[in-house]
Structure 1
């Protein structure tokens, strides 16, 4: 098994336009304006969400060698094997109401409409200046022996701090985070973003003429947005008319349109690509999703492990070049869908969970002896992927899910978190593990045992959750209920069901 720890990249790239970049033409801008006029005539089918207000306790776990956990600079915070309450984000002091996990950083919104950030800031994703840290002892990824196990972390990156330069007169209703970019959606449907996008060749840029944007900047001309969805280095936007936009890196067709070298800088502005009548968008790292108003689930982008859930050739670098219906999810009333690097998770309105994609790090949560007949196997007969969405029967009803690069999380309607997938980075929150977690397993530890978890997030090698504490009677009733479910499930498994 290869190590998945992500290492710090150098932040010394010059802030200049990449060689060969072109400015967006007047013709392209004119076409965008005409598209906006046509869209204005469509009926409104989506609304901008309301700002969240419930103050939450925040828990973090996993590998924090890149400051991902936000627990401060002490070297002891580099590995947290089970959920730990973040003492720097106390509910009574800060009052976090929402968060978003990127690949190596996190954004969190407090009840005063302020955004906090922590994690690696090489690409400007924290939206604040961290250059004056005094305890920076991490080595550059290009240096020999770049893993520094004993040194403290960068104090400004590892400690939650306030993002600078966001409008104060408009409420923030959603946060979004990729590997290298951060964004917020405001109550008036406007979007602010900062950071950059990367591609196979290195830095792609933030916008034409801006390589790295280190403070929040309004995305001009992008209005009436109702939802954002973030991949590894691309972002989707859904507007109130049901039109989907995409921008960022499109080398795996995750933008829903072909990107050619001579015009690739145009991919750095949100553009529609013909997808309409959509009520929800989701994203994996290199693939994208949409749910239409008539309940169809569409996917496009990288599909070499069947992570798009579409019957197509499963091979290295296989892609779906345009939105294609996931027929196996038709009629399932899917309300939420997301993905990791090579796997995906879909959630129905009744709380059923469907997974598909890569198998070898147990991302799909299906034990080897329960693999379906349509499992794709390599030339040696080893299971490689599950290319068709498959229901997980080992979970009680679920209210939300999250996908990290190679691990998965699900929260039951009672607020209990189950985890499965790659175990080496502790991102599953189940303590020391000898192997990956092949099926959904309840996280049962002192810190979160009495909490109703309301939201979860998953990054490259870490996880985050937030919730409210239950009273003693409610906690005991919930524990009894989930233990009964697990006992019944174990009995069924023992009897071959």
Structure 2
């Protein structure tokens, strides 16, 4: 907490100097952005900055890697991986990854030496390093078509390498990645970021002065942050006082406030919007979540498939314009909540998983005949469109983590086994060749991960990443018997 104390002292000293040395008009011009923080300083601290993770992990990747997402190197054979594969470029003994996060088409990974690695498509500068050096094959633009589907990938984008220009004298405690931006949180409560935000019309910008930020920079006037949550093109930040901040694209009300066209560039700076007493923030691609100190779960943003968990105006373009309580999660002791493009997952302290949102690509993990008939929304043809009411997944054992990709999901059981469901065409489920989408949680059972306690998972647009530690043979056998008994009980 030394960094926090120093920050507070500097703020206090600066205030004294302003009162004694500067004219009134100068003081207002210089310090006006900090009025909110002065008010916030009267609130008691309710959150703490997390510690850096330390366990060395084996890293597994799978899915479609046509945009270098899998980090397996440039060979064309690494474009599609149908089941989890150990990444040989991130060996535990040589690199020692302790944490990672997954964006739409890129990954950030932290090693035990406090170094940050990145790989994936770098069109928006999200890798935080130069991938245009001589000899690097130019990867096609994310929006462009290519006739060369069998060619090798960009060598510098597809190979994990170190992010350049980050401070090395303080520890990174959390990573965050949107589709087009990367960010890290330090033990000092400071946030560094790079990349850009996009909106419906194209590039929105990194801030009002910079379109694409290619190297890490500190976010100014943004202190005492304890957690970040990333959407498709927006970020949430939570501070020690329980105040929530949001910035990026707000066209679907995911920033918790209305963004006017004439003031749109101001949305590129973190700003609070009246939400406080919060202990956790989460995000889907175009919607956002918060869990309050008293256990209420709030949501806001795009709600066209009921992905906000609120059963009102479930139609194209529907939004929840301000933080609203998800009443069906009240009393469930939700500790984590996240979402994909049109679906969401919530995890309780007891390991129960609740799901809601879009149905047609099997994102919610409940078979059609087992859906609560009174809660579903149907289209004009009578086909089930969505389930806007958070509903418990009864086909999963107790879980310790969940992750949502654009149209697929992965859950980790308390024993460290991964289950997946949803859209199957990109192999992001890790279940091999499939003829159709997977409607219920299905165990990922392959040689590479069978004997691992998977402790972390992340899902991107068309790929997934997990990491874990190897079990003893006896532990693995005991766990397999236990999970097979559970699966048999469902038949």
Q: How does 1:363-374 map to 2 (within 5 A)?
A: 363-373=363-373, 374=375
Shift of 1:311: 1.8
- Partner residue in 1 for 2:70: 69
- Partner residue in 2 for 1:167: 167
Structure-2 change in CA distance of 1:30 and 1:385 (3 Å): farther
Question: How far apart in 2 are the matches of 1:349 and 1:221?
Answer: 34
- Partner residue in 2 for 1:82: 83
Structure-2 change in CA distance of 1:383 and 1:28 (3 Å): farther
- CA displacement, residues 243-297 of structure 1 (integer Å, 9 cap, x when unaligned): 0000000000000011111111110000000000000000000000000000000
Q: How does 1:289-328 map to 2 (within 5 A)?
A: 289-328=289-328
Question: How far apart in 1 are the matches of 2:139 and 2:112?
Answer: 33
Check whether the contact 2:191–2:219 (CA below 8 A) recurs between aligned residues: yes
Question: How far apart in 1 are the matches of 2:210 and 2:429?
Answer: 37
Check whether the contact 1:133–1:154 (CA below 8 A) recurs between aligned residues: no
- Partner residue in 2 for 1:206: 206
- Partner residue in 2 for 1:396: 397
Matched, 1:268 2:268: yes
| Runs of 4+ with deviation above 3 angstroms | 26-32, 137-143
Task: Give the structure-2-normalised TM-score.
Answer: 0.93
Check whether the contact 1:140–1:146 (CA below 8 A) recurs between aligned residues: no
Question: How far apart in 2 are the matches of 1:153 and 1:337?
Answer: 34
Check whether the contact 1:65–1:79 (CA below 8 A) recurs between aligned residues: yes
Check whether the contact 2:278–2:292 (CA below 8 A) recurs between aligned residues: yes
Check whether the contact 1:56–1:467 (CA below 8 A) recurs between aligned residues: yes
Check whether the contact 1:134–1:154 (CA below 8 A) recurs between aligned residues: no
Structure-2 change in CA distance of 1:291 and 1:123 (3 Å): same
Q: How does 1:139-178 map to 2 (within 5 A)?
A: 139-140=140-141, 145-146=145-146, 148-178=148-178
Matched, 1:445 2:446: yes
Secondary structure at the residue paired with 1:401?
strand
Secondary structure at the residue paired with 2:44?
coil
> What is the aligned-residue RMSD (CA, Å)?
1.3
Shift of 1:137: 5.4
- CA displacement, residues 60-101 of structure 1 (integer Å, 9 cap, x when unaligned): 000000000000000000000000000000000000000000
- Partner residue in 1 for 2:353: 353
Question: How far apart in 2 are the matches of 1:249 and 1:27?
Answer: 29
Shift of 1:149: 1.7
Secondary structure at the residue paired with 2:236?
strand
Shift of 1:142: 6.0
Check whether the contact 1:138–1:151 (CA below 8 A) recurs between aligned residues: no
Question: How far apart in 1 are the matches of 2:484 and 2:321?
Answer: 45
Secondary structure at the residue paired with 1:480?
helix
Q: How does 1:19-58 map to 2 (within 5 A)?
A: 31-58=32-59
Check whether the contact 1:133–1:156 (CA below 8 A) recurs between aligned residues: no
Q: How does 1:77-226 map to 2 (within 5 A)?
A: 77-132=78-133, 134-136=135-137, 138-140=139-141, 145-146=145-146, 148-226=148-226
Shift of 1:32: 3.2
Stretches of structure 1 that go unaligned for 5 or more consecutive residues are 1-25, 491-497
- Partner residue in 2 for 1:19: none
Q: How does 1:410-421 map to 2 (within 5 A)?
A: 410-421=411-422
- Partner residue in 2 for 1:342: 342
Structure-2 change in CA distance of 1:141 and 1:333 (3 Å): closer
- Partner residue in 2 for 1:479: 480
Structure-2 change in CA distance of 1:28 and 1:300 (3 Å): farther
- Partner residue in 1 for 2:7: none
Stretches of structure 2 that go unaligned for 5 or more consecutive residues are 1-26
In the comparison of the two structures, how many residue pairs are matched? 464
